Chains A and B, each alone.
Chain A
Amino acid sequence: MSVFILRRLMQSLVLLCVMTIIVFAGVYAIGNPIDILISPDATQAEYDRAVRALGLDLPLWQQYLVFLSKLVQGDLGKSFVFNEPALTLVFSRLPATLELAFAAMLLSIVIGIPLGLWAGLRPDSVAGRSIMAGSIFGFSLPNFWQGLMLIMVFSVFLQWLPAGGRGPTANFLGINSSLFTAEGWQHLLLPALNLALFKMSLVIRLTRAGVRETLLLDYVKFARAKGLSSRRVIFVHVFKNILIPLVTVIGLELGSVIAFAVVTETIFAWPGIGKLIIDSIFVLDRPVIVAYLIVIVLMFITINLIVDILYSVLDPRVRLADMKS
C-alpha cells in the first residue's frame, strides 16, 4: 500500500510539472498581460517598469525557472491584478465552491441512489418509468437555462428562496461556512440543486443499470435460495456490488463539479472560485490561473487516490499493491 501511494505521488509530481509548462506556454501564446493591465496612454518608461516589475522581460524559459524555484519555497507569485499572493486569493474563494460542490454531490447521492434502486427493482412500474424519463431531462436540459428556470419558479413566482448570493457564514469547529446558518442553507439550496440535477441523473442511471445487471446474477438467486429476506438480498448482496462503479463515478464527478461549477456560480452570483478563474483568464492573470490549476489538479489527484483506496475496501479482489496506477 505504501509503495502504491509513493508511486502515485511521484506520478502526480510529474503531472504537475507538465501541467504548469502547458499553462505557461498557453497563457504566453494568448497575449501579453501588460497590454491589458496598463492604460494605453502610459509612457514607454512606465511600460518598461511594469514589465520588469512583473518579471515579464525575461525569456519564457527563464520565467518558468523563476516560477519553479519560487514554487519550491511555496510561493506561487502575486496576482498581476490584485497584487495579492495568488494562492491566498484562490484559497479565499475555494470554501464557497467546495461548499456548493459537496452540497450538490450529497443531494445527487441522497436522492439519486434511492430513486435508482427503485427504478432498477421495478423497471416496468409507472414510478420506475417516470424516474427514467426524468433522468433524461436531467441529462439534457442546459445547465444555465435550468438555473434560470429554478430562479424564476422558486425565487420570482413562489418567493421561497433567494435568487443569488451566498448567505452569512458561521464558524463551527474552525470551519467557516454558510452551512452553519439557516439563511446560508436557503441561499445554498437552489445553486446546489442546479449543479446536482445532472449528477443525480447520472447516479440514477448508474444505480439502475447496476441493480438490473446484478439481480440476474447467480449469487443473487442463490442468496434468495438461502431464504434471506429480500431486504437483505437487496441492501447487502446487490448494493455492495453496485457501490463499486458508483464510487468511481461519484469520485470523478466530484472533481469535475468543483472544477466546472462556473456556470452555476455565475447565474447564482455565487462568490466561488469559478468566477475568479474566468476573470483571471480575461486579464491573463497568469499566477492566479496557475495557482488555481495546481490546486484543482491536486484535488483531482487526492480524490482519485481516495477512490482507489475505497476500491480495495469495497472489492476484496482488488489489492492496491498489484494495481497499475
Chain B
Amino acid sequence: MTEAVLKVENLQTHFFTKAGVVKSVDDVSFEVGRGKIMGLVGESGSGKSVSGFSIMGLVDHPGRVVGGRILFHGRDLVGLPDEEMRKIRGRRIAMIFQDPMMTLNPVLRIDTQMIETIQAHEKVDRETARQRSRDALGQVGIPSPDERLMAYPHQFSGGMRQRVVIALALAVNPKLVIADEPTTALDVTIQAQILYQMQKLVAEQHMGLIWVTHDLSVVAGLADELCVMYAGRIVERGPVGRLIDAPIHPYTKGLIGSVPSRNPRGQPLTQIPGMAPTPIDLPAGCPFRPRCARASDICRTTPETAEHLPGRFARCFHPHLEDAA
C-alpha cells in the first residue's frame, strides 16, 4: 500500500455512562489506501459504526475519543479544533448513513440540501453549485436530474434516496468515504446497483472507501481488505479473498461458517455458541474466550495483534493456521 489516505493507530473511543465506561472502540488500527475499499465487518455493537463516527469527529455525548491517532494524509484529526474539523467533514471525508429514509431532511428540497453542502466548503455562487449538484445526480444514475433537484425526499424511493445521498457525499470530491451499512435498508436488486455504482466511483475518483457492514456476503465481492471487529477490537485483518477462504481467527471462522450459502444443502448451519458480550462488562483477556473452542489459560491475557502469515493479522493465541498456510 503505497499511499495511505487514512491511517488509524490504536484508536480508543469510550462512552462514559452512569453504569460505567463502555469501551466501544478499543485499540483499533487499520489503514485505507487510495482507490482501495476496506470492509469493516462485525455484529451490532462491535464498535464498527463508532469507529466511523470517531473518524468524522461526530461521536455523540457521553462518548469521546480517548486515545490513539487518526492520520488523514498524515495529519492527526484527533483533537482538531471544531472549525478545522468542520472543513474536513463533508469536504475531504464524506459519510453515507445506513437508512436513506432518515438521512435527508424531510422539509428541505433536494437542491437546498445539495447546494448548502457545496457552498459550505467552496466559494461558488448558487447557479454553479446547482449545476454541480445536477451533474452529481446524473453521475449516480438518477434520471432527469433537473426535475429531481426540485423534489422533496419523500418523493423518492429508498434506492433513489440512497443515490441522492451518495451524490451529495461525492459532489465535493472527497478523498475518503465512510459508508455505514449503506445498503442494509435496501432491496437486494437495488443493493447490487448501489454496490456497482460505489465501486465505479472509487475507481474513477481514486478515493478511499470504508464499507461498514455486518453482511459478509456484501463486502466479499466489494472490498480489497477486510477488518473483522469483535467487542470493540479488530480481531482479524487481511486481504479479502484469503481471509474469507481461510480465516485464521476462530471468531472469523465462526462468522463465515454461519453464512448459509457456503454450507451444503440440508446441513445444519454452524453456530457460534453463546452470545456477544455486553460492552460494559467484557471478559478479561480475549473477549471471545468464553465462546471459543480453542480457548486455554493463556487467553486470560489480552492477545496483541500479530502478523501470523504475510499480510494476515490477528489477535489470537491459537490461530487457525493449518489450512491458511
Contact = CB atoms under 8 A, between A and B. Distances in A.
Interface of A: 217-219, 221-229, 232, 236-237, 240-241, 244, 314-317
Interface stretch (B16-24, B82-90, B214-222): B82-90
Top-8 shortest CB links A-B = A227-B90, A218-B102, A227-B89, A316-B152, A226-B90, A225-B95, A222-B103, A219-B105
B154 interface: yes
A316 B105 contact: no
B10 to A, nearest CB: 24
Nearest to A217: B102
A228 B90 contact: yes
B210 to A, nearest CB: 13
Given A225-B58, A317-B106, A317-B154, A232 B94 contact: no
A217 B56 CA distance: 17
Contacts of A317: 106, 152, 154
B97 A222 contact: yes
Interface string B131-175: 000000000000000000000101000000000010011000000
B325 interface: no
Nearest to B105: A219
B104 A219 contact: yes
B99 A218 contact: yes
Given A218-B97, A316-B152, A225 B56 contact: yes
B103 A218 contact: yes
Contacts of A232: 116, 120
Nearest to A223: B105
Contacts of B88: 227
Contacts of B121: 227
Interface residues of B, number: 30
B108 interface: yes
B130 interface: no
A219 B106 contact: yes
A317 B152 CA distance: 8
A223 to B, nearest CB: 7
Contacts of A229: 86, 120
Nearest to A214: B105
28 contacts: A218-B99, A218-B102, A219-B102, A219-B103, A222-B104, A222-B165, A224-B58, A225-B56, A225-B89, A226-B117, A226-B120, A226-B169, A227-B90, A227-B121, A228-B120, A229-B86, A232-B116, A236-B116, A237-B105, A237-B108, A240-B107, A240-B108, A314-B107, A315-B107, A316-B106, A316-B107, A316-B152, A317-B154
A257 B154 CA distance: 36
B192 to A, nearest CB: 24
B178 to A, nearest CB: 9
A221 B178 CA distance: 14
Contacts of B99: 218
A146 B222 CA distance: 68
B91 interface: yes
Contacts of B89: 224-227
A212 to B, nearest CB: 13
Nearest to B117: A226
Interface string B97-115: 1110011111111000000
A227 B56 CA distance: 10
A244 B107 CA distance: 10
B87 A227 contact: yes
Contacts of B117: 226-228
B102 A226 contact: no
Nearest to A315: B107
A241 B105 contact: yes
Contacts of A315: 106-107
A180 B97 CA distance: 54
Interface string B217-243: 000000000000000000000000000
Contacts of A217: 102
A316 B109 CA distance: 9
Contacts of B58: 221, 224-225
A225 B179 CA distance: 12
B132 to A, nearest CB: 14
Contacts of A237: 105, 108
Given A227-B91, A227-B120, 4 more contacts: A218-B98, A225-B58, A225-B89, A226-B94
A224 B103 CA distance: 11
A221 B97 contact: yes
Contacts of A219: 102-106
B150 to A, nearest CB: 11
A226 B105 CA distance: 12
